[in-house]
Amino acid sequence: MKRVMIVGGPGSGKSTLARRLGERTGLPVFHMDKIHWCAGWVERARDEKDRMTHEVHIQDRWIFEGGHSSTYPERVARADTFVWLDVPVGLRIFRVLKRSVVNYGTTRPDLADGCPERLDFQTIEFLRFIWRTRHSARAKLLAVYQEPPRHLDVFRLTTKLEFDAFLRTCAERGDQDLHGTSTV
């Protein structure tokens, strides 16, 4: 395991998994939200995001969590491990609301500097986005999971128990490969 692609909808636990997996493996962790946003919740231009994600993809070792699905083909081609957090939309919405309340006014470590958590109209719009894209975003990830390239080990985690078991397996195996496992 040298290049790990962690995906899932907002609130699925991608940042938490990336951080914990990084601690266990020593792999550098990259968060798509740090690429997507500039200070003040200003979205970067698509070509700049594409360039920045490419700079991560070409590295030899990484854990890269997050979306920007237009770069999935390149990320899948470079990754050796694909972890999909396939969590129910209701739980994801609850988690997004909870983190907005708990972290209100502060910037989480997986976000760009100057992007404090907020509870406002933008939060409501984000929740609508989560609801609106729940099927289309999931379909893209399901396609990779169901027909991965030969070089890619795939994992689909749907519960906290599977999440914890995946981390335990990684910790037990250390820096060894997890080949042969298709789901946890």
Helix or strand or coil: residue 39?
coil
Residue of 175 and 118 predicted with greater confidence = 118
Does the pLDDT value for residue 178 go beyond 60? no
Closest CA relative to residue 4, chosen from 80, 86, 72, 58? 80
pLDDT of residue 172: 75
Closest CA relative to residue 180, chosen from 154, 160, 143? 154
pLDDT of residue 54: 95
pLDDT of residue 183: 44
Does the pLDDT value for residue 130 go beyond 70? yes
| Contact status, residue 84 vs residue 8, Cβ threshold 8 Å | yes
pTM for this one? 0.91
Q: Which domains does the chain have, with CATH numbers?
A: 3-87+136-173 (3.40.50.300)
| Contact status, residue 124 vs residue 135, Cβ threshold 8 Å | no
Residues near 50 by beta carbon (within 8 Å), at least 6 away in sequence: 68, 70, 71
Does the pLDDT value for residue 177 go beyond 80? no
What confidence tens digit (pLDDT) does each residue in 19-63 have? 999 999 999 999 999 999 999 999 999 999 999 999 999 999 999
C-alpha distance from residue 106 to each of 100, 109, 110, 123 (Å): 9, 9, 12, 15
- Please state, rounded to an integer, the average pLDDT across all residues of the chain: 92
Tell me the C-alpha distance between 152 and 144, whole Å: 10
Reported as a pLDDT band with limits 50, 70 and 90, residue 69 is confident
Reported as a pLDDT band with limits 50, 70 and 90, residue 77 is very high
